[in-house]
Amino acid sequence: MARKNYYEILGVKNDASEADIKKAYRKLARKYHPDVNQGKSEAETRFKEISEAYAVLSDKEKREQYDLGDSQGFPFGQQAGGPGGPGAGFDFSQFMGGARGGRGRRAQTGGADFRDIFSDLFSGAGGGGGGFGQTAPLRGSEVEAEVTIDFRDAIQGTELQLTIPRQKECPTCQGLGHVGNNVCNTCRGSGVITSTDSSRVKLPQGVADGQRVRLRGKGSAGIHGGPAGDLLVRVHVKPHPFFERKGDNIHTEIPITIREAIRGAEIEIPTIQGPVRAKIPPGTQGGQTFRLSGKGVRRAKGSAGDHFYKVQIAVPGKLDPDGESAVDSLEKQYEANPRSNLKGTL
Ligand SMILES: [Zn+2]
């Protein structure tokens, strides 16, 4: 994942002062806050992004770490992502559920005091720092995971049992962060808990090395009845000793005998879809490549790549006298020196 540029996200210079950063954040937060953009997921994404940027840049220590390049971006709710990174422990819900004033609960985000900002931001909106949709449905955060699977599983598709820390609504306080007038003990006021329930995820057939697979609704659970977030799985595929994959095509090298090369043959070619009978035409040269259309990687959407096989001519290791004389007479069959047409000069 590309490192997020928090300065760019907030639209400030790299040497912006604390006050500038706060000002920029305030302006953007007012524009993109979910309460004024009901149901617009784009605004919500943007809001999360600017809040994440602000959480890091407003904290002197985290900002320093970030400036040193210690950040790969901190996806929300992905506690497995980067413990110790400057964004670690940053919790979106901290200022979604509880940032409104008067609860006596501070946002636990290190330096960023979102409660302050938001009571400010919305002081005109509902009076007394209100205007914060305390029980507005919120989509769960996106969660990322990385898996390494076998070549065969990538070709055929597979199901995995993944145990990933995800956030879900605190069952004690239903995501409110408080029970009556007390801070909820289960979630310590955040409104969410981290669950490590494992879940089954399905990777489609044909998934490629380095591909990111989005699994809808497999991320963190929604808050206050909101929809679950997505799970983004980055897939690594182990190489295969025989089949080499390039895109959706498969490449192999097939040894054939001298006789097969000269006289032609029908041989069996192993493909990822099983063995295929294929013809070697008479007079096949070493290095010649043939294609079996549609015998490559099949994708879930119905397309399929091709299978290519490159011929290698295998020479017998030891010849008896008969073999030697056969080869000698074979030599006389060349119409010309095979190297006579080389353009071997600079
Ligand atoms: Zn709770």
Q: Is residue 175 within 8 Å of residue 225, measured between CB atoms?
A: no
Q: Looking at the predicted structure, is the pLDDT value of residue 65 above 90?
A: no
**Residues in a beta bridge with 253:** 310
Angle at 230 between CA 229 and CA 235, to 5 degrees: 155
User: What is the arithmetic mean of pLDDT over 159-173?
Assistant: 88
Least confident of 26-35, 112-121, 261-270: 112-121
| Segment 203-251, tens digit of pLDDT | 999 999 999 999 998 888 888 888 889 999 999 999 999 999 999 999 9
Least confident of 50-64, 84-98, 175-189, 272-286: 84-98
Reported confidence tier of residue 39, pLDDT bands at 50, 70, 90: low
Tell me, in angstroms, the distance from the centre of ligand 1 to residue 337's CA: 85
User: What is the arithmetic mean of pLDDT over 67-85?
Assistant: 46
Residue 330 structure tokens: 């074979």
Reported confidence tier of residue 34, pLDDT bands at 50, 70, 90: low
- Lookup result for tokens 């993109």: 32
Tell me, in angstroms, the distance from the centre of ligand 1 to residue 179's CA: 8
pTM of this structure: 0.57
End-to-end CA distance of the chain: 45
Q: Would you give the DSSP letter of residue 35?
A: G
Tell me, in angstroms, the distance from the centre of ligand 1 to residue 237's CA: 40
Q: Looking at the predicted structure, is the pLDDT value of residue 98 above 70?
A: no
Rounded distance, CA 211 to CA 80, Å?
Answer: 20
Rounded distance, CA 89 to CA 9, Å?
Answer: 20
Who wins on pLDDT, 74 or 69? 69
Tell me, in angstroms, the distance from the centre of ligand 1 to residue 246's CA: 50
Closest CA to 169 of 104, 115, 238, 96: 96
Tell me what pLDDT residue 236 has: 97
Rounded distance, CA 121 to CA 273, Å?
Answer: 61
Reported confidence tier of residue 2, pLDDT bands at 50, 70, 90: low
Q: Is 122 helix (H, G, I), strand (E, B) or coil?
A: coil
Tell me what pLDDT residue 332 has: 93
Tell me what pLDDT residue 147 has: 94
User: If phi over 0 gives left and psi between -120 and 50 gives alpha, with beta otherwise, what is residue 54?
Assistant: alpha
Tell me what pLDDT residue 95 has: 42
Tell me, in angstroms, the distance from the centre of ligand 1 to residue 105's CA: 13
Who wins on pLDDT, 345 or 245? 245
Residue 108 structure tokens: 């636990």
Tell me what pLDDT residue 60 has: 83
Q: Is residue 221 within 8 Å of residue 270, measured between CB atoms?
A: no
Tell me what pLDDT residue 38 has: 66
DSSP notation for 146-186: EEEE-HHHHHH-EEEEEE--EEEE-TTTTTSSEETTEE-TT
Tell me, in angstroms, the distance from the centre of ligand 1 to residue 211's CA: 36
Q: What burial class does residue 211 get, using C-beta atoms within 10 Å of its C-beta: 0-12 exposed, 13-18 middle, 19+ buried?
A: middle
| Segment 303-318, tens digit of pLDDT | 999 999 999 999 999 9
Tell me, in angstroms, the distance from the centre of ligand 1 to residue 95's CA: 14
Tell me, in angstroms, the distance from the centre of ligand 1 to residue 119's CA: 22
Reported confidence tier of residue 26, pLDDT bands at 50, 70, 90: confident
Tell me, in angstroms, the distance from the centre of ligand 1 to residue 55's CA: 22
- Lookup result for tokens 């029908």: 266
Tell me what pLDDT residue 305 has: 97
Tell me, in angstroms, the distance from the centre of ligand 1 to residue 193's CA: 7
Q: Would you give the DSSP letter of residue 4?
A: P
Tell me what pLDDT residue 70 has: 58
Tell me what pLDDT residue 41 has: 75
Q: Looking at the predicted structure, is the pLDDT value of residue 89 above 80?
A: no
| Segment 279-294, tens digit of pLDDT | 999 999 999 999 999 9
Rounded distance, CA 45 to CA 57, Å?
Answer: 18
Tell me, in angstroms, the distance from the centre of ligand 1 to residue 92's CA: 15
Angle at 54 between CA 178 and CA 114, to 5 degrees: 30
Please give the backbone phi and psi of residue 302, each rounded to the nearest 5 degrees, phi first.
110, -15
Q: Would you give the DSSP letter of residue 242?
A: S
Closest CA to 235 of 307, 155, 296: 155
Report the chain's mean pLDDT, rounded to a whole number: 80
Tell me what pLDDT residue 36 has: 66
Q: Looking at the predicted structure, is the pLDDT value of residue 189 above 70?
A: yes
Tell me, in angstroms, the distance from the centre of ligand 1 to residue 71's CA: 30
